[in-house]
A and B are shown apart, each in its own frame.
Chain A
């Protein structure tokens, strides 16, 4: 455990920027805090409950260009984007839920096939975590196995001290390499109990018990009841740090164009529509069920990860207040 003074944070930022890293950090703009690429330390907001969009775009951007293609008389050709040229990204100031979310996200993109775009971005990623000293009614990390002071996923973890300085835990070898490059920024930590510095989030249910229960609930009437107000948009999916569904699109002219991958959502009615016109998820309750079963039944079964870290973004941003922890609590009770 080390200490980094608040006046030394710009030094850490400066070192990472000078090492060619792009720094993806919470920025407050137009009354909204969102992860954005920054060009100066001053742009960063270190005191926030949760950002609008998660940090997942650092590895799974809204649009990932995959290749350029040309179609000519002589034949077709394509040229994939060179992943070796991807810049190194630092996710700066991610709360423990967001840092933890990269693991289940990674589980999807490395399940059987190792997606080269995603894995390259992950290899190049450095995560500076930020323990939580406050939370709101939408946060429920402790119900899904994450804790407001957890270091899982972070390379370096900062915990704010009341005076404005930070405890710094160096977690991984990537983190050690950074600390070793700028040793002057770190000093020995005062003897403090980190537990007392972080906020305490009430546990509403147990995710293992939820998993055991939800596995058998495919035909339960609760989905129909819960999903009535859901308008079938993509807001919950797009703000979620773990939702990973994507679409692949070709865009261009007659002689060539670009293939890219972009976010998609299981909440949309046409997401599963077949060419025949048949839709296996024809009503909103079957889509809502998919969202929860995927996260709490299928992902744990197949990839041994939970698809939710309890960040609460889906619920904060849902236009009709489909509060996920409230719904999961209800599922535990039925």
Chain B
């Protein structure tokens, strides 16, 4: 990824951007997000298939925005997240330089978001094999078994909200779980509180998930929370024929009514 390093250096030295948000190697070879502001630090940037953090998360945070204009290293799931966030009025095109990186570890530069839209439509991404298998296993279960599976998983949840914190689509300045007047979701991490939380989270991400899987990666208790969003994504594809992050059209799936929408869930 020498090209990436060079591009980052060039952007920083010319003053075109003040910070490059990318990936670097952390403890024991783990990958972590990196913020590079000096050209001489650009050499620590890297990209490979282990880069799982969804960096789109940092693009609208006031902590990063106050540094100045940003460039972001963007694997396909980040590209899709950028489109989702743009349609949700969280990102502005001229605030950002997007350094696309392909699964083949090639650098692609995008002149504008329209080009990103074209690229992501030409290069579909699916879920990882192990996630697909797990979803198939879950779908083959009876309702009761599936209920048991999730009850067991949710029982491990400590409500640390790492899954929320790591997801770019959880962009609310104040999350529903943080409201206390009224208190929508129980604060305690007990059976009901955990269930409330996961139900709410899954519904808020319905049709907005870029299928990065980062929420499941982030969970310290190894709860496969990403599978909830993945399954809802699949259901939405079946019902409405669309997937998140493929369009710049500002019509959010769940808040847009169309006369030909399927209504077979109304019984």
Contacts and interface: CB of A to CB of B under 8 A. Distances in A.
Interface in B147-165: 158-162, 164-165
A63 B63 contact: no
Interface in A12-62: 30-32, 52-53, 62
B127 to A, nearest CB: 20
10 contacts: A62-B189, A63-B188, A228-B58, A234-B159, A237-B160, A249-B188, A283-B63, A319-B162, A321-B30, A323-B27
Given A319-B217, A320-B33, A270 B174 contact: yes
In this complex, the interface size class of chain A, counting residues with CB under 8 Å from chain B, is 35 or more
A217 to B, nearest CB: 19
A320 to B, nearest CB: 5
Given A235-B162, A319-B217, A63 B222 contact: no
B86 to A, nearest CB: 21
B26 A265 contact: no
Contacts of B186: 249, 251
A232 B218 CA distance: 12
B57 interface: yes
A283 B217 CA distance: 24
Nearest to B66: A283
A232 B57 CA distance: 12
Contacts of B161: 233-234, 268
A238 B160 contact: yes
A162 to B, nearest CB: 27
Contacts of A235: 160, 162, 218, 220
A206 B245 CA distance: 49
Contact of B160 (A138, A234, A249): A234
A239 B161 CA distance: 13
Contact of B35 (A63, A228, A317): A228
Interface string A182-200: 0000000000000000000
A62 B94 CA distance: 45
Interface of A: 30-32, 52-53, 62-63, 137-138, 224, 227-229, 231-235, 237-239, 247, 249, 251, 260, 262-263, 265, 268-270, 283-285, 315, 317, 319-321, 323, 326
B32 A320 contact: yes
A249 B193 CA distance: 12
Given A233-B166, A320-B53, A239 B187 contact: no
Given A137-B28, A227-B63, A323-B26, A53 B188 contact: no
Contacts of B160: 233-235, 237-238, 265
Given A229-B32, A283-B63, A320-B53, A137 B222 contact: no
A190 B253 CA distance: 72
Nearest to B33: A229
B62 interface: yes
Given A229-B32, A320-B33, A62 B158 contact: yes
Contact of A319 (B34, B62, B166): B166
Given A63-B189, A249-B183, A262-B188, 15 more contacts: A31-B222, A32-B222, A52-B221, A234-B159, A235-B162, A237-B160, A249-B187, A262-B187, A262-B189, A268-B161, A269-B178, A284-B61, A317-B220, A321-B27, A321-B31
B190 interface: yes
Contacts of A137: 27-28
In the complex, which of the residues A30, A233, A263, A319 has the most CB atoms of chain B within 10 Å of its own CB atom? A319
Contacts of B139: none
Contacts of A239: 220
A283 B62 contact: yes
B252 interface: no
B220 A52 contact: yes
Contact of A63 (B26, B58, B62, B190): B190
A321 B187 contact: no
A285 B64 CA distance: 11
Contact of B218 (A53, A238, A319, A326): A319
A30 B222 contact: yes
In the complex, which of the residues A53, A263, A317, A321 has the most CB atoms of chain B within 10 Å of its own CB atom? A321
A319 B165 contact: yes
The 5 closest A-B pairs by CB, nearest first: A319-B218, A231-B165, A321-B26, A321-B32, A234-B160
Contacts of B27: 137-138, 315, 321, 323, 326
Interface in B6-35: 26-28, 30-35
B189 A270 contact: no
Contacts of B164: 233
Contacts of B174: 270
Nearest to A265: B160
